[in-house]
């Protein structure tokens, strides 16, 4: 069963907004055996919307459209769909009541909000539980087109509450299984060379893909077929072979964020953690606390951007800073010790580096980051090198710090 996704909005084409909806939809559709063939982003123009919808309806069984349903003039998806499906907009009392409910206590109802109760006549209308733009479900022959709001929380809410289950009822779907392995310690080409004999021998129904991230490679095995039990067996057989080849370099068999892997480990071992961050600026703490329930193991962190803070709150000695500099193994060791002490935790990570683009020296060029992970009396350090730009240097340092902590706790 094949779907196409069409996201509508000038903001996507001029690059003001990144399309995150499609990736989320792709994941959810895959889980129920619907494969996404194509994602198309187009402008708010009638002819372009019509052309994209028409091509998609020819190629796919299911067309999911997001965006262009706002109360403002630039949004024209609803009108365009009416023309395409030869229907018209009519006032829907039920949708109007829902809009009143959604807006209650937040903003006063005005004519623009009221206009959102005008919906296509010949379609099934689904109420939006958290927004004022409703969902339109059109049928043509054996194909379905669903138009949804573009605001990510609203789209995910309507998908989860009704669209996904309605699609499952409506279509008989194939089995698609993805399994992702997170691998450390390898550049992509070296890993590919090591895996080549195994990859070449993979059965037809299994596909392998490489997805590198800073400091991590994600290996994805995808199985497709109509017999779930058989497919699971084949996948498991290949999984065992892969584990034999890579051993401990596979640090996860799910595509789980590192902060969640580390969090689960801390929870299991009943340990607490803290952070002492210079160049990563709080991003490791932000990642750890992005996980619901992290208060169980994360006490807190210190973002020690200035040397004063490194000395004052983390008790890094002024001699160490003077002799070795803020970006040094000695400093991150004192930072990690300082964090465990000041924040009273069993373990901690620390970073200090030159994220760039400025601030490098011949001895310590931009991209140099010292990282430490500590657990009780054991401290490990790592010097990250090569500059990949400020944001990537920071992300990679965070990945390395969390991987080091995980290895230390294992």
Residues 94-133 binding a second copy (CB under 8 A) are 106-108, 110-113, 130, 132
Least distance in Å: CB of 278 to a second copy? 9
- Give kind and range of the element (H or E) at residue 71: none
- Smallest distance, Å, CB 86 to a second copy? 25
Q: Please give the residues from 360 up to 389 whose contact with a second copy meets the rule CB under 8 A.
A: 386, 388-389
Strand partners of residue 181:
219
Q: Which of residues 211, 241, 248, 361 is near a second copy by CB under 8 A?
A: 211
Residue 149 found at the interface with a second copy (CB under 8 A) = no
Q: How many angstroms separate the CA atoms of 17 and 144, rounded?
A: 27
Supply the minimum distance, in Å, between the C-beta of residue 375 and a second copy. Answer: 19
Angle at 141 between CA 61 and CA 47, to 5 degrees: 70
Query: Which residues are 212's β-sheet partners?
Result: 217
If one asks whether residue 393 binds a second copy (CB under 8 A), the answer comes out as no
Continuous segment of H or E residues that includes residue 160: none
Among 175, 210, 267, 360, binds a second copy (CB under 8 A): 210
What binding mask, one character per residue, do residues 282-321 give for a second copy by CB under 8 A, x or -?
Answer: xxxxx-xxx-xxxx--xxxxxxxxx-xx--xx--------
Distance CA 405, CA 181 (A): 19
The 8-class DSSP code of residue 290 comes to: T
Binding piece for a second copy, criterion CB under 8 A, among 166-174, 208-216, 225-233, 402-410: 208-216
Residue 153 binds a second copy, judged by CB under 8 A: yes
- Kindly tell me which residue out of 205, 392, 408, 409 binds a second copy, with binding defined by CB under 8 A: 392
Interface with a second copy by CB under 8 A: which range of 42-50, 83-91, 138-146, 373-381? 42-50
Residue 17 C-beta: closest distance to a second copy, Å: 6
Q: 3 has which bridge partners? A: 36, 62
In Å, how far from its chain's centre is CA 357?
26
Nearest-approach distance from CB 113 to a second copy, in angstroms: 5
Query: Is residue 173 a contact residue for a second copy (CB under 8 A)?
Result: no
Distance CA 57, CA 64 (A): 10
Q: Are 379 and 336 in contact (CB under 8 A)?
A: yes
Binding-residue total with a second copy (CB under 8 A)? 110
Selected binder of a second copy within 82, 117, 146, 342 (CB under 8 A): 342
Q: HSE of 45 in the Cβ direction (CA atoms, 13 Å)?
A: 9
Could you say which of 50, 79, 124, 222 contacts a second copy (CB under 8 A)? 222
Beta-strand pair 206-213/135-140 = unpaired
List the x/- string, 229-268, binding to a second copy by CB under 8 A: --------------------------x-------------
Decide: 38 and 64 in contact? Cβ < 8 Å. no
Q: 50-79: which residues touch a second copy (CB under 8 A)?
A: 52, 70-74
Dihedral over alpha carbons 16, 18, 21, 26 (to 10 degrees):
150
Per CB under 8 A, which region of 224-232, 235-243, 390-398, 402-410 contacts a second copy?
390-398
For a second copy, the closer of residues 199 and 249 by Cβ is 199
CB of 142 vs a second copy, minimal distance in Å: 22
Nearer to a second copy, 90 or 211 (CB): 211
Q: What are phi and psi of 64, to 5 degrees?
A: -110, 125
Beta bridge partners of 232: none
Q: Answer whether the bond into residue 357 is a cis peptide, omega within 30°.
A: yes
Check residue 376 and give left, alpha or beta (phi > 0: left; psi -120 to 50: alpha): left
């Amino acid at each position: 069963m094949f779907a196409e996704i069409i996201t509508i909005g000038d903001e996507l084409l001029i690059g003001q907004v990144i399309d995150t909806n499609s990736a989320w939809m792709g994941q959810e559709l895959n889980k129920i055996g619907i494969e996404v063939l194509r994602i198309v982003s187009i402008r708010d123009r009638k002819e372009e919307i019509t052309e994209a919808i028409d091509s998609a309806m020819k190629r796919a069984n299911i067309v999911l459209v997001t965006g262009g349903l706002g109360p403002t003039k630039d949004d024209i998806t609803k009108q365009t769909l009416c023309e395409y499906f030869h229907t018209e907009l009519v006032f829907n009392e039920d949708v109007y009541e829902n809009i009143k409910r959604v807006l209650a206590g937040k903003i006063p109802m005005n004519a623009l909000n009221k206009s959102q109760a005008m919906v296509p006549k010949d379609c099934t209308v689904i109420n939006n539980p958290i927004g004022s733009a409703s969902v339109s479900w059109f049928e043509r022959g054996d194909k379905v087109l669903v138009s949804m709001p573009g605001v990510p929380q609203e789209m995910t809410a309507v998908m989860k509450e009704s669209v996904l289950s309605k699609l499952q009822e409506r279509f008989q779907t194939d089995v698609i299984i993805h399994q992702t392995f997170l691998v450390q310690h390898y550049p992509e080409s070296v890993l590919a060379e090591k895996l080549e004999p195994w990859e070449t021998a993979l059965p037809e129904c299994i596909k392998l893909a490489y997805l590198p991230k800073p400091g991590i490679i994600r290996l994805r095995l995808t199985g497709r077929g109509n017999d779930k039990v058989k497919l699971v067996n084949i996948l498991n057989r290949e999984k065992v072979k892969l584990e034999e080849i890579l051993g401990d370099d596979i640090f996860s068999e799910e595509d789980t964020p590192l902060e969640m892997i580390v969090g689960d480990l801390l929870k299991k071992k009943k340990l607490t953690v803290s952070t002492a961050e210079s160049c990563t600026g709080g991003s490791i703490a932000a990642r750890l606390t992005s996980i619901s329930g992290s208060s169980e193991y994360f006490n807190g962190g210190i973002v020690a951007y200035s040397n004063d803070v490194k000395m004052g709150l983390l008790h890094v000695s002024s001699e160490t800073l003077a002799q070795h500099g803020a970006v040094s193994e000695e400093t991150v060791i004192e930072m990690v010790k300082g964090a465990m002490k000041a924040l009273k935790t069993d373990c901690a990570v620390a970073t200090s580096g030159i994220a760039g683009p400025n601030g490098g020296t011949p001895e310590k060029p931009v991209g140099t980051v010292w990282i430490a992970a500590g657990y009780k009396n054991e401290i490990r350090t790592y010097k990250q090198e090569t500059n990949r730009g400020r944001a990537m240097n920071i992300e990679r340092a965070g990945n390395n710090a969390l991987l080091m902590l995980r290895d230390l706790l294992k």
